Amino acid sequence: MPLSSELTLASSPRAAADARRWVSDICERLERADLVECAELGVSELVANALLHASAPYKVRVRGTATHPRIEVLDGSTRPPVPPTVPLDGADELDLLLTFGRGLSMVAQCAVAWGATIEDDGKIVWFEPATEMADTRSAEWVIDHQERDLPEPTSDAAVEVSLLGMDVPLYLSLIRQYSELRRELRLLSLSHQSDYPLAGDLTSMFANFERQFPESYWEQVRAAESQGLPRTDITFPMVRESGPIFVTMSEMFDVADAFCRAERLLAMARTTPQRSFHNWLLGELVHQLDGASARPWAGDPPPGATSASRVG
């Protein structure tokens, strides 16, 4: 049974209490009772900070791994949080506790790592709870600037590829799942590279994968989304040398799903419809770059259908 993906919080005083109970239950389920105290304190401060300074929707979720779980609070404001400053010598301790922005200082004291990601429609402020609260702020503030890599320039020998009958809502849901996985691996590589060296390798592989898609591909996807189309045809150029990359990435996506299902990554695996669609898409790229004709998406494939990872 996978972890609950996230908890939506009400815009009310009970939001912090709801978040505390939820993250406490997750920590217990992960057999990390040693993190409960700092997890509850940190998420309370982040939720209170979001309610005071940001806008709805408010959500809390747990990502990372069982060894290094990460608690994230999402809100609808793109204004970046302001990291706490070092208090001046001689400042009154009571005054510091009553400071309006004290929440992030408290988070830093109960975290081994923390930071923020600013997205198009809001932000994510996160922390990894420590086993005990530090006397002083010590955890480093990590800013995650995830940007899509520029596509590789196509050559005169590029092949015209067509994805016919693409299920637009299903593809957009797959893109959201992929973006979560991509960010997950990037954060692990930033904060725990020595513990998860594979995260850095996969991050590089994903970046190379993304570079194979020209800007004209994304323009057509965005146009279909803005028009609310249920299905669309997309045609774009792609170099033949990209084929082996898609075969490898199909296998890597299956590995990532297995990690998520085993809770080695605390993120959601692709759903069965997402996986079927993804295999069709990657398989079409491999087949057409090898000279085959385009085959439209017709829904879930029959049992035993060949995926991109097994294309010879």
Successive 10-residue mean pLDDT values, the chain, 312 residues: 77 93 94 96 93 93 92 92 58 40 77 89 93 78 66 73 97 95 88 84 91 95 97 96 94 92 88 97 97 92 44 35
Q: Which long-range contacts (C-beta less than 8 Å, at least 24 apart) are formed by 77-83?
A: 77/50, 77/53, 77/122, 77/123, 78/118, 78/119, 78/120, 78/121, 78/122, 78/123, 79/53, 79/54, 79/123, 80/116, 80/118, 80/123, 81/49, 81/53, 81/116, 81/123, 81/125, 83/141
- Report the pLDDT value the prediction gives residue 95, as an integer from 0 to 100: 42
- Report the pLDDT value the prediction gives residue 3, as an integer from 0 to 100: 66
Q: Is 11:274 a contact under the CB 8 Å cutoff?
A: no
Q: Which residues sit opposite 72 in a β-bridge?
A: 61, 126
Distance CA 51, CA 112 (A): 24
Q: Identify the CA nearest to 177 among candidates 272, 244, 113.
A: 272
Decide: helix, strand or coil at residue 233: strand
Q: Which of 3.30.565.10, 3.40.47.10, 3.40.50.300, 1.10.443.10 is the CATH number of 7-143? A: 3.30.565.10
- Report the pLDDT value the prediction gives residue 97, as an integer from 0 to 100: 37
State the span(s) of the chain assigned CATH 3.30.565.10: 7-143
Cβ neighbours of residue 4 closer than 8 Å, sequence gap 6 or more: 22, 26, 61
- Report the pLDDT value the prediction gives residue 295, as an integer from 0 to 100: 97
- Report the pLDDT value the prediction gives residue 102, as an integer from 0 to 100: 56
- Report the pLDDT value the prediction gives residue 137, as an integer from 0 to 100: 62
- Report the pLDDT value the prediction gives residue 150, as an integer from 0 to 100: 62
Q: Identify the CA nearest to 35 among candidates 44, 46, 45, 23.
A: 23
- Report the pLDDT value the prediction gives residue 13, as an integer from 0 to 100: 85
For residue 80, what is the DSSP state? Answer: P
